Structure 1
Amino acid sequence: MSFRAKLVASVLALAVSAVAVGGAQAQSIAQALTTAYDHAPDLQAALLNAKASAENIALAEAGKRPTIGASLSGNYNWSIINSNFNDSTSLTTGLSYNQTIFDNYKTEAQIEAARAGADLAEYQIRNTEQTVLLAVVQAYMAVYSGRQLVALRQENSSFYSAQLQSSRDRLEVGEGTRIDVAQAEARLAQGDAAYRAALSNLEISQATFQRYVGAAPQNLEPGHNFARLIPHSLPTAIAEAEVGHPAILMSKAAIRAAQATSDGAKAEFGPKATINGSVGSKTTGPSSAPTDGLSGTLGFQISVPIYAGGAIGASVRKANIEQIKSEVDAMSAYDQIRESVISAWAGIQSADAQIVAANSAVKAGRTVVDGVIQERDLGTRTTLDVLNAQAELTTARETLINASSNKVIATFSLLAAMGHLTAADLGLNVQIKSAVRYTQAVDDVWAELRSVTE
């Protein structure tokens, strides 16, 4: 099959696909975001990580709770001496109790660090949510603009094909030259190559879309009303980002965790007091005449570290350094968020300007192409002039497609930079993924004891 036949077949397949998609219900950005929110593995992984982090709270709180255990053991002994059979039994039951009653507030510091870590993981869900939803928008617009580019370049190839045929006809009647034909053939080859590249890029974009959304793209409709969430001024956008962006909240939680870790390391220098006790009963004696006994112990211990080979001092210095680092990371996060907001805001302004310019260029380009074709037919212009005019029109139309796509992406990028590209802010019809309730549940450290007694 020749390349021309393959190209026609591809165009027919694309047309059939467009008819089928056109008959289906339009798939809006909001619908794609809703589907992706429920599908995204990265978001589910962030939720599981937050739940795992919540368990650290229960583990830390266990340090100031008692440990209670029960034991049961038994023995049966027998012997035969001088034909005499002797046997005895023993059965021991007991309860043990151990608790740290003071550790220089080390456990309290560990609990605070665990709570800060759980908060950080919860904010990470929101941050991952924004990353996923922005990637969905980018994939959505890549497919939408990709389909427009495929249609435009197919139309462009058809135009060049018509010009090639016109050049050949003009050559046959003596009104054209072989140069005109060669130029038209070269431009058609370039147009076909551009069309094939657009088809390949569209296939990649559709695969990316399906990766994030979990379903193939349908009849896409990029219209949305989420621009209402954008404030009227750049300073307001920056202020909102600095207050509520998940990355900012994560950095604040990281500072809390580092401060608590530092406090816990310093607490190693203080005293530690523990109490322990046990009570048990023991039944011993020959199986025919057992005797019972009950015993118990109660004790306490106070210890103060004097020297630990330098480990305690090193842990304190390390914790202090990590605390400073968390504060530096927070400043970096603030700077990055401001940069993202300004960049997205500028992207919207730039896209608006490009759309206005491209619309003007497309309108003028259509007029120029029609005029140059008429002048070529009158003999005052060449085929090359027609081909160049069409190339300029195609470039303007592609610029308009890309600028329109960039406007949508920049709008959602600004929402993400402000911290508002979340299912809750967008009003998506989904169950919000959060580990808050799970954290509240695992905070009940007595549940383990109740499960044993019930």
Structure 2
Amino acid sequence: MLRRRNSILSRALAAVVVVVSMSPVALSAETLTEALALAYANNPTLNAARAGTRATDEDVPQALAGYRPTVSAFATGTFDSNFGDHSRIARTGLTLTQPIFRGFRTENSVNAAEASVRASRESLRNTEQNVLLDGVEAYMNLIRDRAIVDLRKANLAFLNEQVRAANDRFSVGEGTRTDVAQANAALAAASSSLALAEANVMTDEGAYKQVFGRAPSKLTPGKPIDGMLPKSFERAVTLSRKDHPAILSAVHSADVAAYNVKIVEGELLPSVSLEANIDRTWAGGNTSTDTGNNASIVGQITIPLYEGGAVHSGVRQAKETLGQARIQVDVTRDQVQAALISAWGALEAAKAQTVAARSQIEASQLALDGVLEEQRVGQRTTLDVLNAQTDLVNAQVTQVQAARDVIVAGYTVLATIGRLSSTELKLKIATYRPEVHYKQVRDKWGGLRTPDGR
């Protein structure tokens, strides 16, 4: 009877990983792509980045305002009394100022604002990648640790049986007190490991809720995305340099810095403007001022001669900032390439570890079954069984970890080449398009409400 129990428990433990990863999932279970669609729509970090991009869009109409006139109204009134003589004068009017030439500062300000918008969009795309990758990690971590909890529970059941068997053998004089103590020690360690595994699941559930905005339910195991990845590392490097949003954002930020140099240099050039005034004057009492209307147009040319060196310093400062931005482009390229190398290596290692863990489980299972048979005829001790069981459980945990690593590393590679997006993943959710808001506000001449009515 004891032999039958040990055999059944060992086979049940060996099958846990297969059950966790291969068994049919209830229709209500959530898939990885469904979870990522939820994060894409609701994640606060991503929504904050979208709001930041919309705010950056407003830099363009602000820069375009440099081409447009400004209009102001004024009103004045005076009352003068001098030894019985009184005079009253009131005046109202409008002033319109139209810039004609500002040393190319308006044109370069528009170009800088548009480059800033492009940089902001790429930064948003990078944030989207990071949020989706965080979602993949949170999802797969939870699946992994739930599977480990199942393994620990099965291991605990196996060791409970070993404790009972050790006590039975000791009571009939076939075992020793040492066997009982070793079995109890292994059981206590297994209980501790299970408690730790359950704590890890609680941590994972908190991270899941933070990324996806709701508590997890049943989860469908993720699948590798090898079909979406480049066939070679060299191709991956080429794609990352071409498409990674962090690199493109740095490039556009360097463009902004280049235009800022021209904007500051424009302060050293002449500026031309027209000013038109129309006003109405009312006069009463003892005054030489007549009641009437007045209109004037004044052209003004301003030529800066010396401004105390502030503008020259500003030009030098802007050039240094430009140099820093260009260096940052190279730094970002190196960082992306380093991340790609790490992710590619992790993916290859995880694939190899998956194959090795599968072989290790098969060998460990055979070894455990053999040790159990040999223990039955007195050729093995309780410690031998416990060691064989530990080897099997460790191999199964390794397989669960490797299965998680293959999927996470695959998505990480996809992110490092700039392809981790809702469109590439074909998420069933409306894609956020920042250019829609940009077109809504770019040519606005006024209005306090945002396009969504706030």
> What TM-score, normalized to structure 1?
0.87
1:185 is paired with a residue whose SS is helix
Q: Tell me the distance in 1 between the aligned counterparts of 2:291 and 2:305.
A: 46
What letter matches 1:46 in structure 2?
A: A
What does 1:45-444 correspond to in 2, within 5 Å? 45-71=48-74, 92-224=91-223, 226-285=225-284, 292-444=291-443
Alpha-carbon contact 2:225-2:407 (below 8 Å) kept: no
* Post-superposition CA distance 1:416-444 (Å, at most 9, x none): 11111111211112222233122222221
CA change 1:314–1:166 in 2 (3 A) is same
Say which is worse superposed, 232-241 or 410-419, in terms of deviation.
Answer: 232-241
Shift of 1:91: 5.4
How big is the alpha-carbon RMSD for the aligned residues of Structure 1 and Structure 2? 2.5
Q: Tell me the distance in 2 between the aligned counterparts of 1:27 and 1:196.
A: 26
Using the aligned pairs only, state the percent identity.
Answer: 34
State whether structure 2 residue 26 is matched by structure 1 residue 27.
no
1:280 is paired with a residue whose SS is strand
After the TM superposition, which parts of structure 1 deviate over 6 Å for at least 4 consecutive aligned residues? 86-89
Alpha-carbon contact 1:226-1:426 (below 8 Å) kept: no
Alpha-carbon contact 2:63-2:113 (below 8 Å) kept: yes
Show the counterpart of 1:7: none
* Post-superposition CA distance 1:30-81 (Å, at most 9, x none): 0000111111111111111111111111212212321122345678x799x9
Alpha-carbon contact 1:98-1:274 (below 8 Å) kept: yes
Q: Tell me the distance in 2 between the aligned counterparts of 1:242 and 1:430.
A: 28
Shift of 1:87: 9.3
CA change 1:300–1:409 in 2 (3 A) is same
Q: Tell me the distance in 2 between the aligned counterparts of 1:97 and 1:56.
A: 23
CA change 1:204–1:448 in 2 (3 A) is closer
What letter matches 1:47 in structure 2?
A: R
Q: Tell me the distance in 1 between the aligned counterparts of 2:146 and 2:203.
A: 12
Alpha-carbon contact 1:36-1:212 (below 8 Å) kept: yes
What letter matches 1:49 in structure 2?
A: G
Say which is worse superposed, 322-331 or 264-273, in terms of deviation.
Answer: 264-273
Q: Tell me the distance in 2 between the aligned counterparts of 1:430 and 1:26.
A: 18
Alpha-carbon contact 1:24-1:218 (below 8 Å) kept: no
Q: Tell me the distance in 1 between the aligned counterparts of 2:109 and 2:122.
A: 20
Q: Tell me the distance in 1 between the aligned counterparts of 2:444 and 2:220.
A: 51
Alpha-carbon contact 1:171-1:178 (below 8 Å) kept: yes
What letter matches 2:395 in structure 1?
A: A
Shift of 1:109: 1.6
What letter matches 1:406 in structure 2?
A: D
Shift of 1:320: 0.7
Show the counterpart of 2:42: 39
2:103 is paired with a residue whose SS is coil
Alpha-carbon contact 1:24-1:219 (below 8 Å) kept: no
1:221 is paired with a residue whose SS is coil
2:389 is paired with a residue whose SS is helix
Give the total of aligned pairs: 423
What letter matches 1:250 in structure 2?
A: S
1:150 is paired with a residue whose SS is helix
What letter matches 2:355 in structure 1?
A: V
Alpha-carbon contact 1:117-1:254 (below 8 Å) kept: yes
Alpha-carbon contact 1:273-1:300 (below 8 Å) kept: yes
Shift of 1:393: 0.4
Q: Tell me the distance in 2 between the aligned counterparts of 1:149 and 1:89.
A: 92
Shift of 1:94: 1.7
Q: Tell me the distance in 2 between the aligned counterparts of 1:31 and 1:208.
A: 17
Alpha-carbon contact 1:99-1:276 (below 8 Å) kept: yes
- Stretches of structure 2 lacking an aligned partner (at least 5 in a row): 1-19, 449-454
Shift of 1:445: 4.2
Q: Tell me the distance in 2 between the aligned counterparts of 1:224 and 1:148.
A: 16
Q: Tell me the distance in 2 between the aligned counterparts of 1:23 and 1:62.
A: 59
Q: Tell me the distance in 1 between the aligned counterparts of 2:427 and 2:364.
A: 41
What letter matches 1:348 in structure 2?
A: L
